[in-house]
Structure 1
Amino acid sequence: MRAVLFDRYGPPDVLYVGTLPKPVPGPGEVLVRVHAGSVNGGDLHGRAGEVRLVTDVKPRGWPKPLGLDFAGEVAGLGPGVTGPKEGDRVWGVLGRTFGSLAEYIAVRPGVIALMPSGLDHVQAAALPVGAVAITALRDKARLRPGERLLVRGGSGGVGHLAVQLGRAYGAHVTALAGARTLDFVRDLGAHEAYDYATTDPSELGRFDVILDTVGADQPAYHRLLAPGGRMVAIAFDLRRPVSSLAFIAASARHGRSRVRFFSGKPSHRLLTDLARHVEKGELRPAVDRVFPLDEAAAAHRALEAGGVRGKIVIRVA
């Protein structure tokens, strides 16, 4: 089968489409024929070798695969699987491992769920990371109606979904994004949108909840929390990883305005909750550009260039 691979860490040009054996679903596994997947920040860091201590929990040799999320259909069932059926349209997220940018993947049923009705596979592939936003806002921050929410990276893959979810949860939503994407973020439902490059954090006021998808300059934004405020970080500063993680750890142990850091691992339950938001009209996919599998390197370059509105999707099938 065809898959996006790389033989060394480096820039987008290290990516190529090669072949891997088609997986055979083992006991308790589901074989999914992948129709589309998206490009996430984690893919960029994984390709560059910046998160190898996290992603190489089970070190594997070269070549390495890429891709975290996917939309497709069930193509086979391993022994003992109950629930999914062949032909089901499903979406999912692999979690801490890469490999979804391939024609087939074998996964546990717990990381997939039925796609929401009314979406094609390309649209659906833009949404699974929204489950991370649900965890961040609903479960970690416990965002309540009427609270003030700040989303850093409001036009990005997680951020643009967090803006929509914040509105669905009844919050007053402020978003930081690039100058070229401010109208896009407002159209998603942000009450206020500011250019992160020209806006000093001190100009923004106080917030009950801050969702940080960027990671840089966290202390400056932490100071914007109102008493009892909660800051949820799904990224840390890769330029200064030690000091960034030390700040997060210290804040989590001391003081009322804590920083909660987590690495998203969406589950069947969260993906099902995500589908409900879509079907209720509270979330809509935003696909910036679609690339064929053979142009995975170009897709990575496009995300690295910035100014992306929503998600960049790679069509696999």
Structure 2
Amino acid sequence: MKAAQIGSFGAPDVLRVTETDRPSPGPDEVLVAVEASSVNGHDTIVRAGGLKMVSGRAFPIGVGLDFAGVVVTTGTDVRGYRAGDRVWGTVHPRGRHTVAGAAEYVVVSADRISPAPVGVSAVEAASLVVAGSTALIALRDSVRLADGERVLVRGAAGGVGTAAVQLARAMGGHVTALARDRHAAVLRDLGADEVLDYGTTTSEEIGPFDVIVDTVGAELHCYRSRLAKGGRMVTVGLSAPALAAIAASSIHGSRRIRTFSANPGSAALDELADHVTSGALRPVVHRVYPLADIAAAHEAFERGGVLGKHVLAVSG
């Protein structure tokens, strides 16, 4: 089978699509024929060597945090799934994988998958797995968005951002999206009440907000100052400056900057699928690449400026 792997850490050109043995599921695992996988920040950090403590240094290392596809076979202890079921899910972000989601087949624990939402293609489903679950966990668990609160989504045109705009609206928030002006019409269509051009709008000109969802990871202290009394801020754009700002904000009580590591299991994916099925959450796909062009997909992801997700069409 074909699988995207790296044989060394580095730029996107270290990615290779190679032939390798098809994995077999253990007693509590499921073998999935992958139809699509998206490109996420976690994937590019692993490839560049930023998570060596997790991935290890034994090559090859598989890439691809998420997937959508079809169950091929299940382990002896797995209940609730059978061959032919359409599913979506993630590999464990803290695992060491020689084969991950960007491959023709992947083996994962059964508690890391869920029935894929109906009415969307595998490519569309894959675009929502990590981005949607990250936005859901940020809004539901990290900042506990309440009905009627004022929400700023910073970096609103990206994968997590487009999902956060929609989910915040579905939860009753009044949503302000901060993104490139050329994406304004789409963001309004997704549910943003206001769209601000980040190229011309400074942090001092906006707010206050009850909730800020940040996907950028820079100038966090400037945006934290735009929180209303009792406001909450969460960032998913981690960097060394971001970590320093998070630590420094700990003295501010409820107005500290929160972060988390999204690691969705079946329950979160079930809830996410409900939002998709209800129409509250729609996929936004920037571009689809064949698996063989995964290096180009990583390059495009790192350039930024996207609307939605870069997705790999693996099969199907």
Report TM bin, short chain. over 0.9
Match of 1:280 in 2: 278
Q: 1:170 aligns with which of 169, 172, 177?
A: 172
| Equivalent-residue separation in structure 2 for 1:168 and 1:103 (angstroms) | 35
Q: Does 1:67 align with 2:64?
A: yes
CA deviation after TM superposition for structure 1 residue 249, in Å: 2.9
Match of 1:117 in 2: 118
Which whole-Å CA distance do the structure 2 matches of 1:139 and 1:2 have between them?
A: 37
Q: Distance in 1 between matches of 2:18 and 2:224?
A: 44
Q: CA deviation at 1:2?
A: 0.5
- Contact 1:68-1:93 within 8 A present in 2 as well: yes
Aligned-partner SS, 1:158: helix
Separation in 2, partners of 1:24, 1:60: 23
Superposition CA RMSD, Å: 1.5
1:95–1:266 Cα contact (<8 Å) kept: no
| Deviation digits for residues 200-250 of structure 1 (CA, Å, limit 9, x no counterpart) | 10111211011111111111111111111111112222xxx1x53233134
Matches of 1:186 and 1:95, distance apart in 2: 34
Residue 95 (structure 1) shift? 3.6
TM-score normalized by the length of structure 2: 0.94
Instruction: Give the C-alpha shift of residue 181 in structure 1.
Output: 2.1
Q: Counterpart of 2:313 in structure 1: which amino acid?
A: R
Query: SS in structure 1 opposite 2:255?
Result: coil
Aligned to 1:23: 23
- Give unpaired runs (5+ residues) of structure 1: none
Q: Tell me what 1:51 maps to.
A: 51
Are 1:80 and 2:77 counterparts?
yes
> Which amino acid is 1:292 matched to?
P
Contact 1:29 1:107 in 2 (8 A): yes
In the alignment of these two chains, the number of paired residues is 310
Q: In percent, how many aligned pairs have the same letter?
A: 51
Once residues 29 and 92 of structure 2 are traced to their aligned partners in structure 1, the CA distance between those partners, rounded to angstroms, is: 16
Cα distance change on mapping 1:302 and 1:277 into 2, 3 Å = same
Deviation (angstroms), 1:184? 2.2
Matched residue type, 1:94: V
Aligned match for 2:89, one of 80, 86, 92? 92
Q: Which amino acid counterpart does residue 290 of structure 1 have in structure 2?
A: V
**SS of alignment partner, residue 126 of structure 1:** helix
**Secondary structure of residue in 2 paired with 1:91:** strand
| Match status 1:213 vs 2:211 | no
Distance 1:267 1:121 in 2: 19
Measure how far apart 1:119 and its partner are: 1.2
Q: Distance in 1 between matches of 2:293 and 2:26?
A: 31
What TM-score comes out, normalization by structure 1 length? 0.94
Counterpart contact for 1:147–1:208, Cα < 8 Å? yes
For 2:115, give the aligned amino acid: L
Residue aligning to 1:102: 103
Structure-2 separation of matches of 1:274 and 1:134: 7
User: What is the distance in 2 between the residues matched to 1:176 and 1:260?
Assistant: 19
In 2, Cα distance between the equivalents of 1:183 and 1:63? 43
Match of 1:294 in 2: 292
Distance of 2:7 and 2:201 partners within structure 1: 41
Q: Distance in 1 between matches of 2:175 and 2:155?
A: 13
